[in-house]
A and B are shown apart, each in its own frame.
Chain A
Amino acid sequence: MNHSSSSRISASGPAVLLDGVTKQFGAHIAVSNLVLDIPRGSIYGLLGPNGSGKTTTLRMIMGILRPDRGSVTLLGEDTNGTARQRVGYLPEERGVYKRMKVIEHLEFLGEIRGMTRAIARQRAMIWLERLGLPEWAAKKVEDLSKGMQQKVQFIGTVLHDPELLILDEPFSGLDPINQDVLEEIVRDFHKRGTTIVFSTHLMDQAERLCESVCLISRAEKVLDGNLLEIKRQERSGAVALDYDGDDGWLDASEVEAVERTDSGVRVRLRDGADAQILLQRAMSAGVEIRRFEIVEPTLHEVFVRHVGEAAAAEAGLPSGYQAMGGAV
């Protein structure tokens, strides 16, 4: 659909802008004074433990919930306009009309996004072919396996070639094949300039996919920005070295702690120490260096550093993620 791709190129300003958004349910504050600026064309991760306010935030972006305070701008408009039709939204709880035929189900989802039925049907067939379900078009949705229903849900989300994809915990509950299918769809849309926002509590997934992230915990933003920059800023002064030779050089003033790994060591440097000097020491000590890496923290480590171990535990993250044990 050309109209959306052309507007995608010409459009400026952020895809989503949240300004001081607050949402309360009774006495429970779900989102507190949240400011978000999601650049167009990015893959943006909304990260945080369960119950931290991710879903509420996404629902407010989609105009499903109204913020108590603050404003939401979606593709340059408020959420009452037609901007919502240019978004592909996949909620965490993904539903289908079980008793409808697959093709009619998709036609309906296209129609409510402003497509004509004929075009919706045409595009649905293309997508069904692409995902290997063309012969299921005339079957009822309830006759499909769960995995096939998930594919139908993906198609329903992207059928209208949205400018913005908003996916709430998109990978949860998917089998590995569909995880790959969805990831491919996401990367494909990203290549064509579509903005992608997704929430997850799985930090490694976010690390793999996202360009920018926002970490939230207990309704509040912890930090946000470009993922690489965040990591650079959050470097903890750790170096990984794999080498053959003797260990005497490790007894240096820069070194605070040494941890043996299978292939070498992990060295934690003192504050302000330069990793390059340690590298020089190693070389001058005559050891054969196989690997030298300034270790960047994982997202989980960044998260733990900012919200504390308690909140991380609350997030239900396995402690195995804490590769830099004791770094905090």
Chain B
Amino acid sequence: MTKKSQMEIMGIVIIVILFSVGLLFAIRYVILKPEADVKKSFIQAEQSSNTLNSLLKTNIAECRNADMSDLFKDCAGVTQEIDCEGDGTVYTNAELADSCYYLNHTISIILSKTLNLWRVPYAFSAFYDGYDPLEWTEGIHSDSELQCTMESEGRPQEFTLPTNRGSLRIVLKIC
């Protein structure tokens, strides 16, 4: 092989290398670029804060139009005072107070017609610092195939309500 033809082969090798490098850069920065999903980030922020905000303000007709923040305070407090069913007792059954039952019932209805319907993964919880979540909140979560826990990635929306047992933290996280 002559020296000239070796030079020619070297030339073509350089062209191929340059082309490959260009291709790699294009793939790295154009194809594999993470999509800036404006809608998703806006919706995550809006939906979690609005849902929690609106939930707490909503009046419950069955509980003499008490709003949900009153029910949260009553349910999580030392003693329960709100009689939702007007039957002279503040307990729906032997274990669950009226306020807790109606909170669970109403929040489940609202979330099933909004976040569940839109297939949005979420996690909901209410707890005192350092304590386990209130028992009645454990059944409120998105469909099982939409995995979302408090440990998942995402920013939780949180409200703190003062009660006679301390500060109650209500958290909604949309993943």
Q: Do A and B come from one complex?
A: no
Binding site for B on A (CB under 8 A): none
Binding site for A on B (CB under 8 A): none
